[in-house]
Amino acid sequence: MYLKEFKDNFFDFILDGHCLHCIIGKDRKIFLRNVHRVLKPGGIFIVMTMCGEVKGRNLKKYFDEKTRLIIKNRIAVRYIGLAEDILREINDQGFKIIKWKIKKGNRLLNRMNLLSKQQDFNLIWKFLKYRIQ
């Protein structure tokens, strides 16, 4: 979460492949702040995360609507944010949202794919744009 083993401006590209929803509470801000720190200016950050309304009957019994957390055995295990809340928290940490899309998921959850950059647009976008369309 702190990414201490990496220097500032270390990566051109960071992919969060379905991990952000596993980070809960204040740790999300810490994680996003550190991703921003280790990403080079103009670097690309892609997020794939669960989002939206919880649909599955079995999953709903663990879902707290107020906190948007899935809680099992009194332990928060997932954050299922609304799209606008996830976009805001990423933007608030200094990322510019380039493109995002909700992918209708299975009968349980939807997923968000999001492409953002640290500052200036860079050529990685040309390579990656087909992945988020």
Number of domains in the chain: 1
Determine, yes or no, domain membership for 2: no
* DSSP state letter for 95: P
Confirm if 61 and 130 have CB atoms less than 8 A apart.
no
With beta carbons less than 8 A apart as the criterion, state whether 48 and 17 touch: yes
Any idea which residue has 């720190």 for tokens? 37
pLDDT in tens, 69-86: 999 999 999 999 999 999
Distance of CA 128 to the CA centre of its chain: 17
CA distance 34 to 57: 36
Whether 1 maps to a domain, the answer reads no
Does 74 map to a domain?
A: yes
pTM of the model: 0.83
pLDDT tens figures, 12-48: 999 998 999 999 999 999 999 999 999 998 899 999 9
- Residue 78 belongs to a domain with what CATH number? 3.40.50.150
**pLDDT over 90 for what percent of the chain?**
63
- What one-character-per-residue DSSP string does 97-111 give? EEEEEEEP-SSS-EE
Q: Quick check: 55 pLDDT over 70?
A: yes
In a domain, 99, yes or no: yes
Residue 51 maps to a domain: yes
Domain around 70: 11-132
Instruction: Indicate whether 6 belongs to any domain.
Output: no
